[in-house]
Amino acid sequence: MSQKNIATVERRKSLAVNPSQTKRLISPLKLYNNDSSTSSEDEVSEERNEHERREEYSVQIDGMKIALVAILVMIFGLILKESMSDYEISLIYALRGYSSHNHVLEIICSWVLVFTDLNFIEYALVAIYLFSDPLLAYKSTFLMEIQIFFVAILKLISTSPRPCWIEDKMNVHFCSLDYSGPSDHICVGAQFYTYIAIIFFYKYAEEKSLCLITGLLILIYIFIFLTGFSLFYLAQTFIFECFAGIIYCILIVVTFIRLDKIIQRYCTSLCFDNFQSRRKKFTLLFSCIGAFLVILVYYKLSIDDLEIESSYLRSNSLKHKKFNYKLGMDYTFFDLSKIFTLIGATFGACFASSNIEGYLSQDTPTQKRVIRTILGLGLMYGLNFLSSLIPVDNYLTDYCLRKILPNILVSYAIYGLFPYSWKYIRLIEVYQGNSTETDASFVENKDYASDRIDEASESKSEDEYKPPRLLQERDNEEEDGYTGSYTQSQESHINAASDDPYFKRNV
């Protein structure tokens, strides 16, 4: 071998790596890989936390913007409501004079207001609850009651006057007995239709089309503008209050959509999770009572400061002004009794979900769902009619016995007792082996449902999944003082345990 070849072989040997050196090189490499995987997990968790912080910050910024716009609208309303009243009164006279010989427009406007009335919205929510989607119906009821309280607060703060008839002329400058704005027809009605349309579309539509949902929202707000015109034409609300109601509605809907995950999780745990719903139900109960007492005190203080003139009493006797509200702050305070509907609906829905198997199931045929919806709406109307027949002698008993108490009892009966009767009159069907999956998929918060299932499965002992022979062998080993692992013979018992019927039943 030449000197050149010998030098090449020696150089290759010097570059070769011993097995021990290979081990020393591999272990740092593994350590580096573990460190990199750990660091990558830390980076992912940090990115996730940063994303959550950004979402919370964006929600706070959006909330500040919405609050700022609401304050600006309220300020402009306080400034412009007096200066615009004369012009709006003359415009109402012109419109009604133009159609004085034709009452078709009055009839159309009165029917338009029916579809944005609070009673109609309550019946619509009950229909959704009984026919298709109990969770969405309850969540919409929860949001509607929040908005009713919010509108009542705005009415008492803004003190925007309502058009009223005194003798044969319309007067507004002294009409402080009844507060009109922002209009609950506009605020609550627009919020209901907008929120239901968006949630239904993104939950049930097979193809998510932005053009389709945009067109649907345009139709909804055309109807809302028609509602505002009807209120103005029938001399129930001024134009500015209608626009203020639309602006407040848009702000509230945007807020609800932004917080939909939080609202979804809260409503699910409140009515459809029996592990932790009791404390939340009673918290909601006392919160509703506290909110009602706050409005009641403010209302009582406002009533004590009023000076009722004889012309106001005269206006209440003008029966031919049938489309106009009767004067008095009682009608401003009247709709606040709807907040007690939420209490009955909450306890009723929780009762139904805990006592009815497949309560959220979609396996029931459409025909039976239509039948139970019609029966439920008829039962609700009958109970409300019976409550209106309760004899009363003053406003307090009227308010308590005909409004507050029926709202609690009727809503509990419709949301809880009536669904409980479905299994006896066979208006609910659940296919075997599919009810749990259907319920978990129907509740939109799948992560929450899976967490509850994981917690329930982790709480079970491992001994429940071991056959009796292995349990007996383990007890004998513990008595003998042996704490080691199973031997090969014991592993053969484990492999043969699949023939045990107890093992089959648990696994």
**For 186, how many CA atoms within 13 A lie in the half-sphere containing its CB?**
30
Instruction: Decide the pairing of beta strands 164-166 and 169-171.
Output: antiparallel
Q: What average pLDDT score do residues 123-152 get?
A: 88
d(CA 257, CA 252): 9
Q: How far apart are CA 144 and CA 149, in angstroms?
A: 9
Contact 351, 416 (CB under 8 A): yes
**Among 324, 325, 333, 326, which Cα is nearest to 303's?**
333
Better pLDDT: 32 or 5: 5
Q: Confidence class of residue 104 from pLDDT cuts 50, 70 and 90?
A: confident
Residue 233's pLDDT band (cuts 50, 70, 90): confident
pLDDT value of position 458: 45
Report how far residue 433's alpha carbon sits from residue 453's, in angstroms, rounded to the nearest whole number. Answer: 16
Structure token pair of residue 361: 């199931």
CA distance 379 to 420: 14
pLDDT at 107 over 50: yes
Q: DSSP letters of 327-355? A: SSTHHHHHGGGGGGHHHHHHHHHHHHHHH
Q: At what angle do helices 446-458 and 260-271 cross, to 10 degrees?
A: 40
395 vs 109 pLDDT, higher one: 109
Q: Which of 183, 341, 152, 147 is nearest to 263 (CA)?
A: 147
Q: What is the DSSP string of 190-256?
A: HHHHHHHHHHHHHHH-SS--HHHHHHHHHHHHHHHHHHHHHHHHTTSS-HHHHHHHHHHHHHHHHHH
Tell me which of 199-203, 265-269, 441-445 is least confident.
Answer: 441-445
Mean pLDDT of 476-498: 44
What is the average pLDDT across 49-60? 60
Ranges 21-30, 114-123, 243-252, 436-445, most confident: 114-123
| Mean pLDDT along residues 196-201 | 84
What is the pLDDT of the chain when averaged over all its residues? 69
Degrees, nearest 5: CA angle 40-43-49: 145
Handedness of CA 237, 239, 245, 246 (dihedral sign): positive
Residue that wins the pLDDT comparison between 256 and 16: 256
For the segment 36-44, the average pLDDT, to the nearest whole number, is 55
Quote the pLDDT of residue 478.
46
| Interatomic CA distance for residues 70 and 249, integer angstroms | 10
CB 315 within 8 A of CB 261: no
Contacts of 215 (CB under 8 A, 6+ apart): none
3-state secondary structure of 179: strand
At 335-390, the pLDDT tens digits run: 778 888 999 999 998 888 888 776 666 778 889 889 999 999 999 999 999 988 88
Indicate the pLDDT class of residue 87, thresholds 50, 70 and 90. Answer: confident
Q: What is the mean pLDDT of residues 182-209?
A: 81
Q: CB under 8 Å to 454, separation ≥6 — which residues?
A: none
pLDDT band for 66, please (50, 70, 90 cuts): low
**Rounded to whole angstroms, how far apart are CA atoms 188 and 329?**
19
Q: Give, for 484, the enclosing helix (H) or strand (E).
A: none
What is d(CA 258, CA 266) in angstroms, rounded to the nearest whole number?
Answer: 14
Handedness of CA 375, 379, 380, 381 (dihedral sign): positive
- Average pLDDT, integer, range 78-82: 65
pLDDT score, position 2:
55
Distance (Å, whole) CA 160 – CA 156: 8
